[in-house]
A and B are shown apart, each in its own frame.
Chain A
Amino acid sequence: MELLGKIRQCLLPENLEVHLYPEYLHIVSFTSIGEISTEKMIVRHQNGMIQIKGKNLSLAKLLGDEVLIKGSVEQIEFR
């Protein structure tokens, strides 16, 4: 059962996940988007929010509980 749970978590993650790639930031299990600007973005999740600061930030993908932010990320702040 534990193994099934791990597979399920891998395929359909329920916990907040933040993946940072060069030029991209991928966030899974967010609830809503707060502020959107080219220098700052706020993404809310169940236990708080994430503040992203950088340059040329923009939304690249917005699917259900998954968001892909494009741009040069300089700072990620979990609140």
Chain B
Amino acid sequence: MKNIIKIKVTGKNIERFLRRLHNHKIDLLEIKYRNYNEVIVKIYAKDYEQVEKLKTIYDVQILNSYGWLKIKQQFFSYKLFFFSLAVGACILLLLTNVITGVEVIHSDKDIRTLLLEEVEEYGIKKFHLKKSYDQIEQIKKDILENHKKELEWIEIINIGTKYQIKVEERKQNQKKETLEKRNIVAKKPAILKKIEAKNGVITKEINHYVGKGDPVISGEIYLNEELKDITSADGKIYGEVWYKSSVEFPYLYYEENYTGKKKTVYQIRFLNWQFDLFNFHPFKQSKKKDKILLQHSFLPFQLVKEEQEEVVVKDKIYTIEEAITEARKLAVKKMEEQLDKNEYIISTKDLKVSTKESKIRLDVFFTVYEDITAYQKIDEEEVKKRLEETKKE
């Protein structure tokens, strides 16, 4: 790309000047007359110096330039813009390649801690540069190699500027216990609702009442009233059981729940006025601990470091109906906390509501579907004796 410039030539008898330029081997790439004594000419930039020498009485002015020269000029005239653009691009590149968070998705806290510590060793932590695909693959391989016993599978996913780690824990095959000879009995009085027998003989029927200690799955195997074998009964039994629960709930309810979010805020205080520095997302409610960093002896000015911990405050005055509803919810919640995943509340009934000072007391009756499996060891000697006695009779 050749550098071309556009010049304006002014003077009398311009043709003579153009002829002179041509005689000196200067190429006139484009000639445009504006009027009889003014002409716009495009020439190669390298010829400009010679034009300057030949101009004599003529006035020559550069109007514009083309080619690399133009690009160069434009670049220098916009250098601040290009510099900002380059700096911006670098910052953007840096920010998009910096890790802002690492999260492990697993219910077990120990596994989460283990993985966070492991990946941290490989440089996957906050405010560090992101890793390439190959590096991630190698890290996964190394972690799995180092924790063969604990981990089955691991995946490190890059989501924006965060890393999400998904992990599958290795479950060791537990050695089967050598089970003793036993019956499965009811743990508490209930109406039988479900029997899952893996081994043994079912001795009770669904929807029948069982008392505490009644055998439901027997380990004694009989054929034609003759004991054939004594085995270890295995299975689960579920029944409908009953509870009476009492809860108290205050009319005036105040509760503070910590969300676990903490931050340090620097604050300027002047008289009663206070201003947080760089606290872009302040907590709505928080517990605070102050530490004065700087203060003036005479002026009411202070620079304070404040440790804030977010809390959610519940402060309410309930009516009787609301208090009963809340008390019932509380009772249900307490009951549900005691139940496993296969257990549930079948029904509830309010028995009695009484007021005591600033609280209400609610008695609730629960019908619960619950695991009532309990085990009873079989004394083989006793069984044999019992059988012999039966035969004699």
- Which residues of A are in contact with B by a Cβ distance under 8 Å? 32-33, 36-37, 58-64
Contact = CB atoms under 8 A, between A and B. Distances in A.
Contacts of A63: 27-29
A46 B23 CA distance: 15
Nearest to A41: B15
B95 interface: no
A49 B257 CA distance: 105
B33 A61 contact: no
B31 interface: yes
B25 A61 contact: no
Nearest to A59: B31
B19 interface: yes
23 contacts: A32-B22, A32-B23, A33-B22, A36-B15, A36-B18, A58-B31, A58-B33, A59-B15, A59-B18, A59-B31, A60-B30, A60-B31, A60-B32, A61-B28, A61-B29, A61-B30, A61-B31, A62-B18, A62-B21, A62-B22, A62-B28, A62-B31, A63-B28
Contacts of B18: 33, 36, 59, 62
A1 to B, nearest CB: 31
What are the 9 A-B residue pairs with the smallest beta carbon separation, nearest first? A36-B15, A62-B28, A63-B27, A59-B31, A62-B22, A33-B19, A58-B33, A60-B31, A59-B18
Contacts, number: 34
Contacts of A61: 28-31
Main secondary structure of the interface of B (DSSP, over half): mixed
Contact of B27 (A32, A33, A37, A64): A64
A60 B15 CA distance: 12
Nearest to B25: A64
A59 B32 CA distance: 8
Main secondary structure of the interface of A (DSSP, over half): strand
Interface residues of B, number: 14
Q: Which of B18, B23, B27, B31 has the most CB of A within 10 A?
A: B31
Nearest to A36: B15
A64 B23 CA distance: 9
A62 B23 contact: no
Contacts of A64: 25, 27
A47 B28 CA distance: 24
Contacts of B19: 32-33, 36
Interface string B244-284: 00000000000000000000000000000000000000000
A46 to B, nearest CB: 16
Given A32-B19, A62-B27, 17 more contacts: A32-B22, A33-B18, A33-B22, A36-B18, A36-B19, A59-B15, A59-B18, A59-B28, A59-B31, A60-B31, A60-B32, A61-B28, A61-B30, A61-B31, A62-B18, A63-B29, A64-B27
Contacts of A32: 19, 22-23
B2 to A, nearest CB: 13
Interface in B90-123: none
Nearest to B36: A38
Interface in B283-303: none
Nearest to A63: B27
A5 to B, nearest CB: 26
Nearest to B30: A61
